[in-house]
Amino acid sequence: MAKTQYYTATSIDGFIADQHNSLDWLFEVDEDTNNPFGPFFAQVGAFAMGATTYRWVLEHDALIEKPIKWADYYGDTPAWVFTHQDLPRVPGANLTFVQGDVRPVHEAMTAAAGEKNLWIVGGGELAGSFADAGLLDELILGVAPVTLGAGAPLLPRRLAASRLSLRSLEQSGQFAYLTYEVGKPA
């Protein structure tokens, strides 16, 4: 059965981006040649991200000028971007800009993904909205050996221990990968 998964990298102190909304800190960490992202993304049929994540990817990879990079990363996998602003569209990308309740978007993503999984890219507030709605099945956290001290939190809300169950723990280079099953809200 398909799952809705929040797969992200996090610092040891629980931030997914620094105080400037940058992920540059992440690329300073030596990564094992067996990066699990490729096998993970092969199982993804649709994904969603917030406006801050989308803007960072646009700017960091100059995707408006080099839209082929989007296709290299994500192929034609449909993506939903949650935003309250007009954002530039990556030419040729299968994008839908949305706002509001995650439930109807989750329904559309599920229909588009078929039997494949749904990936919540980021940020933490968006992933939290899916969790609040009872639509998040797994947290997959790549914990990097760095502390940031401030920035965008991994999940800016409380999820009680009764909702989280550790399913696996793996090491890949300097990263510890933790996978938690997420239960429905009470």
> 127 near 13, Cβ under 8 Å?
no
User: By the 8 A CB rule, do 141 and 63 touch?
Assistant: no
Residue 89 falls inside a structural domain: yes
Evaluate whether residue 125 is within a structural domain.
yes
Residue in 163, 177, 96 with CA at minimum distance from that of residue 131: 163
Is 0.85 surpassed by the pTM of this model?
Answer: yes
Whether the Cβ atoms of residue 169 and residue 176 lie closer than 8 Å to each other: yes
The low-confidence residues of the chain, meaning pLDDT below 70, are 31-33
Q: Helix 102-113 vs helix 124-132: angle between axes, to the nearest 10 degrees?
A: 90
pLDDT of residue 36: 84
Per-residue model confidence (pLDDT) at position 30: 76
Judging by DSSP bridges, how do beta strands 44-50 and 117-122 pair with one another?
Answer: parallel
Rounded Cα distance, 10 and 139, in Å = 11
**Are 120 and 40 spatial neighbours (Cβ–Cβ below 8 Å)?**
no
One-letter amino acid for residue 182 of the chain:
V
pLDDT tens, position by position, 65-86: 999 999 999 999 999 999 999 9
Residue 78 included in any domain: yes
Half-sphere exposure of 145 (CA within 13 A, CB side): 10
d(CA 126, CA 106): 12
Q: Is residue 137 part of a domain?
A: yes
Residue 66 lies in a domain: yes
Give the per-residue pLDDT at 155. Answer: 96
Please count the structural domains in the chain: 1
Beta strand 44-50 with 79-82: parallel, antiparallel or unpaired? parallel
Residue 63 lies in a domain: yes
- In contact, 78 and 121? CB cutoff 8 Å: no
- DSSP H or E stretch at residue 103: helix 102-113
Helix (H, G, I), strand (E, B) or coil at 122: strand
Domain CATH code at residue 138: 3.40.430.10
* Domain carrying residue 95: 4-16+44-164
Note whether residue 10 is domain-resident. yes
23 belongs to a structural domain: no
> Tens digit of pLDDT for each residue in 146-171?
999 999 999 999 999 999 999 999 99
